[in-house]
Structure 1
C-alpha cells in the first residue's frame, strides 16, 4: 500500500486496534469520510444561502422529482433517512413557510399527502442547480469521466446495488 496523507491516522488505528486493523479497509473508510466532509461544504453553502436544513432540502427535492409533486408521508420517509417524528417536524416547518401543503386523501382520511407549492418549486429549483453545479465542479476537478463511472460502479457494488 502506498504512503498517503492518512498514514499518521492509520498508524494510530493500528496501534489502538491491532487485532482488527486492516489498512486497506481503514483507508477506504477514512477516504469515504473525508469525501463526505468535503462534499458537505457544498451542501452547507447551498442550504445556508436558501435558508434550508438538509432535511427540508431533501423533502422538497423528493417532492419535486415525484411525478405528481405530491407524496404521502410514508412515501417521503421511504426516500429519506429520517424518523416519522422527524419528518413530521420538517413537514410542519415547510408548511409554515408555505413551501408545502397538506390535504386529506379521499380514500383514507387518515392519510395527509404532502404537496409541493409553487413557492416551494421556486426555492428548490435554484438550490438544486447550485448544489449540482458545485458538486460537479468539485468532483470533476479530481476525477475523469471514466474514473467517475468506475467509482459509481464500485460504490454501488459496496452498497449491494450492483447491476446484474
Structure 2
C-alpha cells in the first residue's frame, strides 16, 4: 500500500495505477518461481523450455526454425540463442542441419525426444500456473484476465524509452 503521507499528494488514479503495477509484479514473480521450479525438475531452464516450445509451435512435421527466427521471436541475443541451442543439442532435444535454400544459415529442429520434452515442459508450466492460481475461483480469474486485456488494449499502444 501507499503510505498515507504520499496518498495526500497523489491522485486516486495514480494510486490505483501504482497498486496495479505492484500486484502485477508480485503475481508475475509467483508464476515465474512456480514455473521455473517445475521446469527444473525436468532439467530445463526457462530459456531452454522457451526454445523447445517455440520449435514445437513451428510448422509440422519438421518443427524447425532458423536460429535468427528463434532469437527474434524469443527476444534473445544471437549469443544467448547459440548457448541455449548448444545445450539442447548436447541433450539430444534439437538437431541442426544445413539450410539448402541459404548456405549462410542453418535450421534447428526438434528431435522426437525434443518433442516429448517440449510437451513435458508445457505440462510442467501448466502445473506451475495451477499451483499459483489453483485456489482462485474461475470467475475471478476470467474477470481478471478480461480486465487486464482491456488495460493492455490501452497501454500496448504506448512507446517507452
TM-score, length-scaled by structure 1 = 0.78
Structure 1 position 85 matched with structure 2 position 79: yes
Structure 1 position 112 matched with structure 2 position 109: no
Structure 1 position 155 matched with structure 2 position 152: yes
Structure 1 position 50 matched with structure 2 position 42: yes
Q: How many residues align?
A: 149
Structure 1 position 100 matched with structure 2 position 87: no
CA distance in 1, matches of 2:151, 2:131: 21
Q: Summarize the alignment of residues 1-164 of structure 1 with structure 2, pairs less than 5 Å apart.
A: 7=1, 10-11=2-3, 14=6, 22-68=14-60, 69-136=63-130, 138-139=132-133, 141-142=135-136, 143-160=140-157
Q: CA deviation at 1:159?
A: 2.6
Task: List gaps (5 residues or longer) in structure 1.
Answer: 1-6
Cα shift readout 1:58-117 (whole Å, capped 9, x = no counterpart):
000000011131000111112102111111111111111111000111111111111011
Cα shift readout 1:122-150 (whole Å, capped 9, x = no counterpart):
11212201312431453353324233223
> Is the CA contact (8 Å cut-off) linking 2:39 and 2:124 kept in structure 1?
no
Task: List gaps (5 residues or longer) in structure 2.
Answer: none
Per the alignment, in what secondary structure is the counterpart of residue 74 of structure 2?
A: coil
Larger RCO (CA under 8 A, 6+ residues apart): 2
C-alpha change, 1:120 and 1:156, in structure 2 (3 Å) is farther
C-alpha change, 1:29 and 1:150, in structure 2 (3 Å) is closer
Q: CA RMSD in A?
A: 2.6
> Is the CA contact (8 Å cut-off) linking 2:34 and 2:131 kept in structure 1?
no
TM-score, length-scaled by structure 2 = 0.80
